[in-house]
Amino acid sequence: MIKEAVARRYAKGLFDVACELKAVDEVAQDLEQIAALLAQEPDLQEVLEYRRVPTMAKKEIIRKIMQDRISPVVLGFLEILVDKHREGSFGAIREAYRDLFRKHKNIVVASIKTAYPLGSQVELNLRDVLQKATGKSIELHVSVHPELLGGLVVQIGDRVFDGSVTKNLQMMGARIMERSQGKLEVNM
């Protein structure tokens, strides 16, 4: 909880600076690029998060690796994280920045669960339908869950639309049980 609050505070500071400099998109891309690099090079992340590596050494490593890849704003931000010993919070800060970025761009995340992989045309159609329904741009996150049997489960924010075959079967079973309890009529 505290780590998330700290991450939001740092992300908000970076976002405010990015807005001032009209570099919101560039900063978002830089953060994604850094995250990809850290995922590819876990040893780099380990060195940056290790407390016994001196701050100046960490900053030098960051400058050598990142200077030509990212904007000066993000490079300076990374150095601030090192100075404040918040290197381990980078992932949470990136997520918080991504949330601010989405809100700024009027984008919502739609988590889609399907029984089978969707084709690209189906995803495009689904995105269009959801954009019309919400009035916002949609970022689709599709995952396959064979236990659904068929249909879709769509979650946008705290709203869930369950059109899966599994849910429909559960509801049908509940209705049958509800109707059959004490309501069995025999006509003679």
Q: Tell me, yes or no, whether 47 and 65 share the same domain.
A: yes
Q: Tell me, yes or no, whether 7 and 98 share the same domain.
A: yes
Q: Tell me, yes or no, whether 7 and 99 share the same domain.
A: yes
Burial class (CB in 10 A: 0-12, 13-18, 19+), 47: middle
In this structure, are strands 152-156 and 107-114 parallel, antiparallel, or unpaired?
antiparallel
Q: Tell me, yes or no, whether 55 and 135 share the same domain.
A: no
**Lowest-pLDDT range, 33-37, 41-45, 118-122, 147-151?**
147-151
Percent of the chain whose pLDDT exceeds 90: 76
> Domain containing 134 — which CATH number?
3.40.30
CA distance 167 to 152: 10
Give the total number of structural domains in the chain. Answer: 2
Q: Tell me, yes or no, whether 85 and 146 share the same domain.
A: no
Residue 187 in domain: no
- Largest interatomic CA distance in the chain: 92
Burial 87-114 (b: 16+ CB within 10 A, else e): bebbebbbbbbbebbbeeeeebebebbb
Q: Tell me, yes or no, whether 74 and 116 share the same domain.
A: no
Residue 63 in domain: yes
pLDDT at 55 over 70: yes
Residue-range definition of the domain harbouring residue 111: 107-180
Q: Tell me, yes or no, whether 98 and 23 share the same domain.
A: yes
Q: Tell me, yes or no, whether 15 and 96 share the same domain.
A: yes
pTM metric for this prediction:
0.78
What is the reported pLDDT for 182?
Answer: 55
Q: Tell me, yes or no, whether 153 and 67 share the same domain.
A: no
What is the reported pLDDT for 167?
Answer: 78
**Element (H or E) spanning 139, and its range?**
strand 137-144
Mean pLDDT for all residues in the chain: 90
